[in-house]
Amino acid sequence: MRRPFISANWKMYKTIKQTAEFFKEFLPLVKDVKDVDIVIAPPALSIPKAVELTKGSNVEISAQNLYFEKEGAFTGEISADMILEAGCPYTIVGHSERRQYFNESDEFLNKKTKAALAAGLKVIFCIGETLSEREGGKIEEVLGRQLTEGLKDISADKLVIAYEPVWAIGTGVTASPEQAQDAHAFVRGKLKALYGVKADDLRILYGGSVKPNNVKELMSKPDVDGALVGGASLKADSFSQIVKFK
């Protein structure tokens, strides 16, 4: 049985001070949760403070992004080794906002994922279709390409997949539990083509307007193993309710 995985992506929200305030409120709310992996991805500048505050707790920290080179003249970027040295075991790769706003291609994301895994990071690898792609009947084509090209020559070890329909991110519109399950079942089938029986152990998260009032139904679906939460993760109370979905 796959262990539930609930992750927060704070995007470009929260200063270091606000990060400290969040964890002061949040950690007591989830201290008794033993059967869910809890991961939070703050902005890069807040990672050291988040790591410090969660040390010894049941919460782990993720970076939101990285660059695939180990070092060099890449102004503004951070490497896998820098993330690891900060005490952070995870990174997100391929979020739709990185694909959309920063034109990150499947080939580029493949390089980033390989660099992260080679350094010892665990990767939350994001995929998802736009509204026009969904309405054009291209869901399977898009998700299949993002998986096969993005994960080319990459081991299944230390991977978590996050399916985020772009049309549901930050819009308040959530894929129905049935839509989510259909997409997750397709994704698991593609993963089986890539990884064989190992795909049965890979966790697939749903992301896109996940809230306390819809997480339980989403999590009831057989191929939905967790959630990647945006807006609802910014408040300790709402995110703790999502973590405690059971």
- pLDDT at position 242, please? 98
Mind giving me the DSSP string for 37-65?
Answer: EEEEE--GGGHHHHHHHHTTSSEEEEES-
Q: Helix, strand, coil % (nearest 5) of the chain? A: 45, 15, 40
95 annotated active-site? yes
In the chain, where are the structural domains located? 5-243
CA distance to 20, 175, 185, 220, per residue, from 182 (Å): 39, 10, 5, 13
Candidate list 60, 104, 164, 184, residue with the active-site label: 164
Candidate list 60, 95, 104, 129, residue with the active-site label: 95
Could you tell me whether strands 204-207 and 159-163 are parallel, antiparallel, or unpaired per DSSP bridges? parallel
Q: Residue 179: CB partners within 8 Å, gap ≥ 6?
A: 165
Total Cβ atoms within 10 A of residue 198: 14
Looking at the DSSP bridge assignments, the partners of residue 207 are 228
% residues pLDDT > 70 (the chain): 99
pLDDT digits (tens, 9 = 90+) for 209-223: 899 999 999 999 999
Q: Which residues of the chain fall short of a pLDDT of 50?
A: none
Separation CA 114–CA 111 (nearest Å): 5
CA distance to 115, 129, 175, 178, 186, per residue, from 134 (Å): 31, 6, 12, 15, 14
Angle between helices 177-195 and 139-150 (to 10 degrees): 40
pTM score, two decimals?
Answer: 0.96
- Is the domain defined by 5-243 classed in CATH 1.10.486.10? no
Backbone angles phi, psi at 63, to 5 degrees: -80, 160
